[in-house]
């Protein structure tokens, strides 16, 4: 499935959160890793703000709450 710009989900994910930045975010514990996380999150947020509906936000929030509930149980 392609988005508005003709990209697949994987292509868009690589654009918004390139593998090298993800590796730094996941493995790094430095100010640079934190700053990279913030930059990637802001980039994803800007993209989503243009393309997501209120009901989609609610669905995502519901999923996050379910995940958190299950984490709290263990």
Say if CB 25 and CB 37 are below 8 A apart: yes
Measured distance CA(59)–CA(44) in Å, rounded: 17
> Mean pLDDT throughout 12-28?
91
- Residues 5-10 have a mean pLDDT of 77
pLDDT for residue 1: 44
Torsion on CA atoms 38, 42, 48, 54, rounded to nearest 10: 80
pTM, full prediction: 0.58
Question: CB count, 10 Å around CB of 34?
Answer: 13
């Amino acid at each position: 499935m392609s988005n508005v710009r003709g990209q697949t989900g994987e292509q868009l994910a690589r654009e918004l959160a390139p593998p090298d930045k993800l590796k730094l975010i996941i493995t790094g514990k430095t100010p640079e890793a934190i700053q990279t996380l913030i930059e990637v999150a802001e980039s994803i947020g800007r993209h989503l703000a243009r393309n997501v509906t209120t009901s989609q936000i609610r669905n995502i929030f519901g999923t996050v709450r379910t995940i958190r509930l299950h984490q709290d149980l263990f």
